[in-house]
Structure 1
């Protein structure tokens, strides 16, 4: 019987089992399902790829065979054209000796001669005999009808025959007797002494019958998708075509042949080649040359006609492969279910044991499953021991963190995992508000967090402990300064985490900043002292050097008070100190916050005006001089007044150091003093 815990009863009396997923829903996420599906897909893919490759190889083989067959057929057609050309030439050469000068001189006898040559006439569409001047002596059609007698003296074929004294074949042209596309054979009439006294012409029609008769079985023109034969001349015109309207048209007018013809032209117009040399993606094109006329015989077969017989075979093969894959998949699922059944029992036992049911036993099995059961038993035992040890360590660590007067924290992967009570106090947050949060939470800015991480990583890489001062922020209140000291848990493994020590050093930082301020400022006036002003000068010089060829201007102003010593002597040092404070305030109120004002001696002041040329500096210096002259210090019923002499020096190529720049400004101030004071000199 099953444990009653597996059948909890609901309030309506139905078992929870009725609401559990069905068998298929429980089976799909299992290892058996993944193995079965994966194996089925791989089996189907293997069969599909194999069948596809076999069909592809068969298609390629058939296409190659068809290309070879088409090459044989087109070569046979070219041979037929060659035989017909030679037959026409032999007919002319056999008749030419019978046409003597005397016969050509007697028009009646010449007419009767050709009327008697019925077999000869049937070989040509028309016959013309011309004398040596090109005058047509007789022009007769193949049916014996005498046609017009044109003049042939200007015809290129006639002139070539007279020049070469050899038989000629014309380019495709329009016949003089029939007004139809023809090719003309010309045979010279040569006397015994070598004189050419005439030319015998025989024309052969191109559109019907003639040299290309019966070469193409296509009738009524070649439709798109049909196979057909075309003959082209050397000049790129069509000699024979199933569509007679294309005869004598350029090859470009036949879209199914124009691309192959262009490839043949680019290849150098070879007279013969393999069929595939001119084939395209959609057409198989074979070509053979006819040497007598220089014509080309083309055969065009659509690839679609070649692949149609294989399409049904491919579909049938894929259907058979799919059925075979499904049968093999069913057998594979059954086999896997039988083999993995012990693994299911092992899974249920492991789940119950990990849930705390230690009474659950492990299934007995052989082979890998038995070894897996033993391994899981050992893993569970080790886990329980590790959990117990971890609990002890955490209790001890918690006691240490609670009692430590120093802020301690453990960080890993940028998140806080442990924090001490002192860390919580410093940051004003509970432990629950810090643990698991990003360390950027406690820094004044995300940039500070990134910088600290980079610097600490560099220190750890050098084998050193990291220590730095950073501004941290709590949940409430202002930011405070803290010294962070960090050490990696395992220097060889950065992912092991980092231990932080955190100290509040806000008081130390404040004291240090006060000391640094006092070291650089005049205690009486609050302005920069000589050392602080020297630092400001060096910063301007360094910025100018870094600017390169386009430095920004800067102006130095030296100020020497006029009539200050009588005030100090007559009214006392207290009055002198009060006057110096008033002068410092007047100077500070007259310049920008980015300018540096300093008291560099008893009654000597200085101004550093970055980004100001001498013209702008003169304006600022004039403003300062007026502000000082306007001071009226009420002391013991007297209004104490004084003036100032100001000297300017712009930072230029001559001022290569702070000393040279100061010397130039001092010289200008001395000149102002020499002029009686109360003036500005640049």
Structure 2
């Protein structure tokens, strides 16, 4: 209450306005300055964190690349037989002085994973079987250098990573591998990374994409899982690279930059707490606030004193106006002061002079109003403030069938049907009180008590500066209009009911794409669950044909469409095969519309895909059949001239399959064929082609594989087939294979020549006692 009384004074309001203006201006300047400064400081902090992360990632990549290249070079110098490698292992490892400087431990393993030699020998790893280690499995299967995931080493259970490269004999057969171990908590280049700081409290982390911490510069953690709640690290595990603001484990905001390593599936995460990065701007804002308080304490009293002096003439003017209004003063008001105060005095004098003129002309205007409303085509009624009719024109008399003499001095509310009366009276009172216009549809009682008239009623108050004099009500008979509207609504309801039960989606859009009508089925295609009216149809979906996407311009400029097969994708990611029909309505006019009918064509297209799959695949093994295999072979022959590494054709013929069918039954034979098909698929790359050519014959196409790798793969397949056994009724069943290999040559005129060479290899293998791999060379280039 005290504050409210204080603000009644204009002086106090002016002082509050000045002080408030200073505060708001200062706040705006502060906010704008701090935002600009913060933006600049944030960008600098982001650049700094990103630069450090990029430098560290580049440095780690170069160090890992150098070590991996050195290992690969050393492995290439070990080309010898497996027996020689075993006997010379210790000597070979002792000679690798460069590797001992690069790694905490150097190891030489044979092809079975047994450690042949190590340096330093104090680790006591010689003779240890490491075939179960993941890095050994990767090297032996891919025959390529690898950088392992962090693991617990056998030396004092210390965390480490292994860089390893395969060793081959003179025939390029895998005979072992050489590896270099780096202890994650050892005195090596990892320690330089761990001890690097950003500012005072910022740190770096090295993490694998599988979510394992390799090194943590803040907490010194090694081989701990990444905190799942951090979305930036989760995105980095999926390949994200960039600089964003996130929060740490304590919920504090930090600037984090992520840089992916190219040598290993790892990434560097550099984090700098935002409170440390933005500390300078916080100190500046604190100083500015203290300065603002000092200015307010100085300006407030000075403004209060000055405004009291400026407002003194206004108090004198108020006293003179009160005297003139009460009749105690007859002469015009006269006051000194500022221009605005003198202008108010002049306006008041003018208003008082004009008031008398207005009162004189009011009677004349009323007479004119009555004359005008007599000929109006709509009903007009004038009432006093109590709602009693003072005037009603002939049009209103005709609407309710009662002459003006009987209506005068009766209440207008009595002419309103009882159910609508309370609403009408409340609206009229509100119009008088707020000087507004009340509009509604109500029912009026006529002289014929059995008939009601629907009327559109609009009421406005008749006001003078001092008080309300009554109301003017305009009445329009809309009974016939409502009957027409009701008939239209019935027709619309019938149409909506019919369209609502259709399975086809039906939409009507204007030329800009805004949806004006859509049935329930259309909402399913659009993914909006029926809430699509007034949304843009072409923004909700994309429509594609085999020739490309159809846009709004295609539909507007094109002709009507009937049964066009398209693919529809909605904003929710759902995809539908659609039979589309489109019609133009009122084409070329301003109110042109497009009608779309969407029919789901998915079942027919799925049936076509099923028939296409069955035509190219073997139903028993799910592999490609001979026809599809021949098509792939023809394509591979066409590409052979452009390849630097030769493609290889492999034919596989099963040995002793008929006895399995005879002794175990056809169901057992079918089961064996399915298992063999799965074995062949798992043994090759995704880019390779595996097919069942018929009976117990299979074919594999190995694009850009090279004959040496293909021969090694064939030996693995032969051994895996030989090891595959099926048990039934206490008996064990299995088969062996004859495998023929040949390189695909640009000299081959067609698939028949290559198939003949590979088939010849199978016959040679059978003649040599079966269960063998035979390579048939391709013809020399002419």
Q: Normalization by structure 2: what TM-score?
A: 0.43
| Larger Cα-atom Rg | 1
Structure with greater contact order relative to length (CA < 8 Å, sep ≥ 6): 1
Q: Normalization by structure 1: what TM-score?
A: 0.48
